[in-house]
Structure 1
Amino acid sequence: MLKRIKSGTRTRFKKTDFNSFLFFLLFAIVIWVFVQFSKQYNEILQIPVVYINVPPDKLLKEDNPTTVELRMQENGFRIAWFSLFPPTLEINVTNADEENGRLVYLFDEHRAEILNQLNIDFEDSNFIREGVVIGFEQKQEKKLPVIPRIDIEFAAGYSAIEDLRFTPDSVRVSGPDNILDTLAALYTTAVSLTKVKNDISGTVQLDTSQLPNVSFYQNKIKYSLDVEKFTEGKVQVPIELTNVPAGLNVVIFPKETVLFFQVNLKDFSKVTASDFRVVANFKSVKENQDFIIPEVVQKPEFTSNIRLNEKRIQFIIKK
């Protein structure tokens, strides 16, 4: 019995001693790490860079620097953080100076911008080089007309007063010559509007999906259209026979036709039969033809969808 007690006591002491040893070892390591990382170090770190706000008339070369070297004099914790999670430096290309066909971005001239991004002190940290030299190719420019792809379906009884308005009607682009030479116009993305009964306006993006190497000085346009309720009217209009050769007696029938038109409600009362002129041009008659196709040669500007009840006008020649 006594032997069992002694054996158990020794085992318990061994476990306790090991746990204590492990605790003090880990504690010592933590203290050592803390002491080491609290010291000041002078290290050179690689900071990744990206180029933003590239002018649309310039194409950056692919071999431009992707990192810059930053010498940091900081404690180990800060050095380790920058090494594991390096911040990305955004270089605003529009702020670079153009020299001898290259763009030069000097770090000292943009201290505030860099401090904002990297949160470093220039007294304790500095870049190995004074700046970044950015190679580029000059793009060519061209002004192209815009063709809107806006499909409008009006609600029953409604229509547009005039054509779709859009601004701007042309946009400047830049890019390689071999691409710009193939472009005659720019198109918008497709827009479909249905059951339209009110004035419409909005913006639509230009379709740039097939032009990855072309830069657009503007990538959207504004459009607007006035919409009103329309009604259909009809008037009885005389048919005028023209260009009959001298000495020829030509008789047409019918001598009048019903003319249908569309007009917005506010202008409906303004329309009269005398506003229209329907002509049967005898000169258009071909050999062995006994009819003339009438044409509307005069109508009020605010009317639309003009059509005649009579598609053909018969005629006879009296001797």
Structure 2
Amino acid sequence: MLKKTKSGTRRRFKKTDINSFIFFLVFAVVIWIFVQFSKQYNEVINIPVQYVNIPPDIMLADDNPRILKLRMEKTGFKIAWYSLFPPTLNVDVSRAAEQDGKLLYFIDENRSDIISQLDIDFDDSRFVKDVLAINFQQKKEKKLKVIPRVEIEFAVGYSAREALQTEPDSVVVSGPDGLLDTLSVLYTEKLSLSKVKSDVSGTVKIDTSGMRGLTLYRPSINYEVEVEKFTEGSVRVPIELINVPEDLNVVIFPKETLLFFQVNLQDYSKVSPSDFRVVANFDGLQKDQDFLIPEIVQKPDFTANLRINEKKIQFIIKK
């Protein structure tokens, strides 16, 4: 019994000694790390670079520096933080000066902007290079027409008073020669509007997908369309037969047709049958064709969506 008690006590003491050793070892390591990281060090840190505010008439080369080396004399904690989580420096290209075919970004001249971004003190931190040289290529300019891709579905009884209006109708772009030579027009992004019953306006972006290196001096255009409530009306209009050879006597039937149209309610009273002209062109008759197709060749400007009730006009040739 006594032997078992002594053996259990020895094991407990042994276990306690190991735990104590581990505790003091970890504590000593923590103290050592804290002391070491509290010391001043002089190290070089890589700072990522991002180019911003690039003038639209130039294109930066792909081989431009993506990091700047910053020599820091800081505590180990500060240097470790900057090494693990380096802040990105936004280089404002518009502040660079052109010289010998390069853009030169002078560190000292942009000190205040750099300090605000990196939260550093130039008394104990200094970039290895005083000047960042930026390679670039001058772009060429071209004015291109912009075609809108705006689809409007009107509510029942509504329609556009006039066609969709855009402003501006053209924009100036810049880019490499090889790209500009392939472009004659630009298109907007697709925009769909449904159940429209009032005036609409807005902006729509110009689609530049797949056009790497193209810069727009204006990224979007304005559009507007006036919407009004329309009503449908109809008039009976005589059919005029034209281009009949002098030696033929051609009779058509019917001799008039019902013509349907849409018009703004305010303009409905202005519509008169004499404002319309429907013709059947005998000269357009195809071989073995026994009918004529009527066409609307005259209408009031304020009418829309015209359609003729008679799709085919029968005829006979009298001798």
Q: Provide TM-score, normalisation by structure 1.
A: 0.83
8 A contact 1:280–1:313 mirrored in 2: no
Given the superposition, is the C-alpha separation of residues 282 and 68 from structure 1 closer, same or farther in structure 2, using an over 3 Å criterion? Answer: closer
Counterparts in 2 of 1:2 and 1:145: CA distance versus 1, 3 Å: same
- Counterpart residue identity of residue 180, structure 2: L
Give the TM-score normalised by the residue count of structure 2.
Answer: 0.83
SS at match of 2:13: helix
SS in 1 for 2:235: strand
Change (3 A) 1:15 1:228: same
1:202 Cα deviation from its structure 2 partner = 2.8
Q: Which residue of 1 aligns with 2:129?
A: 129
Q: Which residue of 2 aligns with 1:265?
A: 265
Amino acid at match of 1:100: D
Q: 1:304 to 1:25 in 2, by over 3 A?
A: closer
CA distance in 2, matches of 1:174, 1:150: 25
Matched to 1:67, the amino acid is I
> Larger deviation: 303-312 or 141-150?
303-312
User: Are the equivalent residues in 2 in contact too, given 1:278–1:297 (CA < 8 A)?
Assistant: yes
> What does 1:49-198 align with in structure 2 at a 5 Å threshold?
49-198=49-198
CA distance in 2, matches of 1:317, 1:263: 40
The Cα shift of 1:167 comes to: 1.9
The alignment of Structure 1 onto Structure 2 pairs a total of residues equal to 318
2:90 & 2:125 partners in 1: Cα distance?
Answer: 18
Q: Which runs of 5+ in 2 are unaligned?
A: none
Q: 1:9 to 1:293 in 2, by over 3 A?
A: closer
- Taking only the aligned residue pairs, the percentage that are identical comes to 63
Deviates more, 1:7-16 or 1:146-155: 7-16
Partner residue of 2:32? Answer: 32
Secondary structure, in 3 states, of the residue corresponding to 1:55?
A: coil
Change (3 A) 1:313 1:263: farther
CA distance in 1: counterparts of 2:245 and 2:21, whole angstroms? 127
Distance 1:6 1:309 in 2: 117
Counterpart Cα distance in 2 of 1:32 and 1:286: 102
Shifted more, 60-69 versus 45-54: the winner is: 45-54
CA contact (8 A) 1:234 1:261 kept: yes
CA RMSD of aligned residues (A): 3.4
SS at the partner of 2:31?
helix
